[in-house]
Chains A and B, each alone.
Chain A
Amino acid sequence: MCTQKIATTFGNRKKSTMPKLQELQDIVQQTRRDILRMVHKVNSGHPGGSLGCTEFMVALYNEIMELKDGFDMNGIGEDLFFLSNGHISPLFYSVLARKGYFPISELNTFRLINSRLQGHPATHEGLPGIRVASGSLGQGMSVAIGAALAKKLNQDKHLVYSLHGDGELQEGQNWEAIMYAAANKVDNLISTVDHNGQQIDGPTNKVLPMGDLAEKFRVFGWDVLEVKQGNDLKSVIDGLKEAKSRTGKGKPVCIIMDTIMGHGVDFMMYTHAWHGKAPNDDQLENALSQNPETLGDY
């Protein structure tokens, strides 16, 4: 339904297929500004996890994934990404818009009535780049597995990526999916866990300790690698490249990625307080001053 709009904006995408690290860093910084301004404007949304996963998602879309021009739901002949922890939608929307999936100005409509940028990602309004609704937690890995199985049936060698919150792994459906993917050798799937140790009610270790997540994935039969500095762009890129090299070897691949919720804004870091809270005017000014404009605000 939105192909015309995409066609006009996708011209910019080819230029940035091989950006240098500094160019990616500029996107990261601008994306952080987008996230902060989006949630501030509507006084709602989830800045903490969005800021924590910014390096990951910027790297994924701008350096790692093989993407076609334009958007079609089936995504045959390109890599796919599924965001399971849908509440970090501000990050997802900013990355998609700046990649050219829809006009950057549309970030102005986040969470407003009649917008395609719903509080949590949805396909219902036809926003290009989104392939399934998420927000009710724990469902994304199953969907990613299904898409990966479809790729195998279609003899499409491209990969499927997914992102999950660590708190989200408290949902039982994940473990059904984790068991299934290993047992059925879904080795064209790379699932990343945003290991920030925080959830709405507090640190995951207080709310419901989950033990050694890497080991849990391992004993379920996954190939696991750990990225210890999930807010360092180079570490994230190296980790994703390493994960990519481990696909096609009979095991699904998991990245346990340590991040800091609220990264890039000093007063939002090391706490769960900003999981689902927007900054006020003064806080926004402070936060933006820590992340100067790089590519131009929307």
Chain B
Amino acid sequence: MKKYIDQGKNDTRSGYGAGMTELGRSNPNVVALCADLVGSLKIEKFIEENPDRFFQIGIAEANMMGIAAGLTIGGKIPFTGTFANFSTGRVYDQIRQSIAYSDKNVKICASHAGLTLGEDGATHQILEDIGLMKMLPGMTVINTCDYNQTKAATLAIADHHGPVYLRFGRPKVANFTPVDQKFEIGKAILLNEGKDVTIVATGHLVWEALIAAENLEKEGISAEVINIHTIKPLDEAAVLKSVKKTGCIVTAEEHNYLGGLGESISGMLATQHPTPQEFVATKDTFGESGTPEQLMEKYGLNDKAIVKAVQRVLTRK
């Protein structure tokens, strides 16, 4: 079993900021917009180096989405930045009409997704954003797992024509993907080969899946772990190949089970290769205040929850 080393905890949003800094230097068409959350999105360096290519919109997310759509008319590549809740639910119709239906090359970059936003509570902890965004025709949906991957994804989406939702988070988490790993949109990454069960995880749950796989190995269970950073378009081939070998699957995400990664996978498997599946996800509930660790424990979104889900799914093979 391959060992993954934490290169030092860091937040995924800093990966976004680092990616933006690099894009600021390498791609003159990239512009950044923010709705009064520059510090949270870590884009100070981009602004310092490219003041003309930064637009402070103020607390007006609907306007931000429209302005971003307009900036594409003229060849710009706008990256919008705010919390995931304000990037999606608050501005759904603006994204739907002015961006997705109009096929605008806007990158909607969303920090503080999910429960790990922590103490601010449910008003800010969106657990429905993946579903909202994946339902929009033509929208690419990405949820990165660590600092390195978020930076790589930020660079990659600038070269992809079309609307993208890039989802990342607030807390410092393990940084374990290779620093030079190229980000390929829509291409799952096989982290560990196994034969008894497939664990497909996205975002912060990828690291938890690796810990779970280690613990399962001690019980004699061989788990295959897949990092599926792109929820749409889904790498169906990678999932199918794995479940044809293992015969069962656990999906893990920091999102409601309705509308999330697990739902996308179950829908695909139902038509192509029916497979027993268990969901590590929130169960149609809002979050609450607490530390990220407390919340992930309470809502069943950590390595222990993944191990339990594996044990359940193995009985259904």
Contacts and interface: CB of A to CB of B under 8 A. Distances in A.
Interface of A: 73-76, 80, 82, 122-124, 131-136, 138-151, 153-154, 156, 172-173, 176-177, 179-180, 183-184
B217 to A, nearest CB: 50
Given A122-B102, A123-B102, A132-B98, A139 B66 contact: yes
8 contacts: A74-B74, A142-B98, A143-B70, A143-B98, A153-B53, A156-B74, A177-B63, A177-B66
Contacts of A151: 74
Contacts of B72: 146, 150
Given A76-B75, A173-B62, A149 B98 contact: no
A133 B98 CA distance: 6
B52 A153 contact: yes
Contact of B66 (A76, A142, A150, A184): A142
Nearest to B73: A147
Contacts of B93: 136, 139
B60 interface: yes
Contacts of B97: 133-136, 139
Nearest to A186: B67
B71 A146 contact: yes
B57 interface: yes
Contacts of B71: 146-147, 149-150
Interface of B: 31, 52-53, 55, 57-58, 60, 62-76, 78, 93-94, 96-98, 101-104
B94 A173 contact: yes
B73 A146 contact: yes
A287 B274 CA distance: 62
Contact of A154 (B67, B75, B103): B75
Contacts of A172: 62
Nearest to A124: B101
Nearest to A184: B55
Contacts of B68: 146
A176 B60 contact: yes
A150 B74 contact: yes
Given A124-B101, A132-B98, A133-B102, A148 B70 contact: yes
A183 B94 CA distance: 22
B73 A74 contact: yes
Given A148-B70, A153-B31, A133 B101 contact: yes
- The B interface is mostly helix, strand or loop, or mixed, namely helix
A179 B70 contact: no
Given A154-B74, A154-B75, A146 B69 contact: yes
B76 A173 contact: no
A123 B100 CA distance: 11
Contacts of A147: 70-71, 73-74
A159 to B, nearest CB: 13
A73 B70 CA distance: 11
Contacts of B66: 139-143, 145-146, 173, 177
Contacts of B60: 173, 176, 179-180
A230 to B, nearest CB: 25
A154 B53 CA distance: 11
A139 B73 contact: no
Nearest to B137: A124
Nearest to A183: B58
B8 to A, nearest CB: 37
A74 B73 CA distance: 5
A132 B66 CA distance: 10
Contact of A132 (B31, B52, B63, B104): B104
A156 B76 CA distance: 13
Residue of A142, A172, A180 most packed against chain B (CB within 10 A): A142
Contacts of B73: 73-75, 80, 131-132, 143, 146-147, 150
A76 B72 CA distance: 11
- Nearest 4 Cβ contacts at the A-B interface: A146-B70, A142-B66, A150-B74, A176-B63
Nearest to A134: B97
Contacts of B78: 146
A123 B67 contact: no
Given A139-B98, A180-B63, A132 B75 contact: no
B54 to A, nearest CB: 11
B55 A149 contact: yes
A140 B78 CA distance: 17
B92 to A, nearest CB: 11
B101 A150 contact: no
